[in-house]
Amino acid sequence: MEDLNRLDRISIHGINVLGHHGVEEAERKVGHRLVIDVDLFLDLAPAARDDDIRRTVNYEAVCNLVEEITAEEEFLLIESLADEIAAKVLERFAPEAVTVMVKKFNLPIATGVHSVGVEVTRYLRK
């Protein structure tokens, strides 16, 4: 496993999307508000040195990918959604690692629960 503390980080937090994910069919039909955070771990020195966007990851492209996956795919578990986002971020942008947090709100479970969340960290296979 890579030591993430030695890497730079791009943090994109609070991507608000409507997702149709859940164990219950009604959850998938109605949908839920999700908030997704993505942290990409990579060496940002070349981009900083050259002041060149081509040497980093475009934040808007990451947000668009997250929105696309959330809208077009359907999962029973937010664990699966987080894993799919992580896999596609690694594939498309090739950071050394990525952490994805998916938070789900307005749950049909015990009263007083504000949200539930799942966080996964995945590493680029070299």
- Domains of the chain, residue spans: 4-123
Please give the chain's pLDDT, 126 residues, in tens. 567 778 999 999 999 998 887 777 767 776 788 999 999 999 999 999 999 999 999 999 999 999 999 999 888 899 999 999 999 999 999 999 999 999 988 776 667 778 889 999 999 986
Enter the CATH code of domain 4-123: 3.30.1130.10
Question: What is the pLDDT, as a whole number, of residue 6?
Answer: 83
Reply yes or no on whether 104 is catalytic: yes
The residue from 29, 103, 104, 126 that is catalytic is 104
Instruction: Tally Cβ neighbours within 10 Å of residue 92.
Output: 12
Question: What is the pLDDT, as a whole number, of residue 91?
Answer: 97
Q: Which of 9, 21, 23 is nearest to 84 (CA)?
A: 21
As a whole number of Å, the end-to-end CA separation of the chain is 12
Task: Tell me how far apart the alpha carbons of residues 51 and 64 are, in angstroms, rounded to a whole number.
Answer: 23
Q: Maximum Cα–Cα distance for the chain, whole Å?
A: 52
Question: What is the pLDDT, as a whole number, of residue 112?
Answer: 74
Q: Bridge-partner residues for 18, per DSSP?
A: 33
C-alpha distances out from residue 66 to 37, 47, 58, Å: 10, 23, 13
Question: What is the pLDDT, as a whole number, of residue 96?
Answer: 95
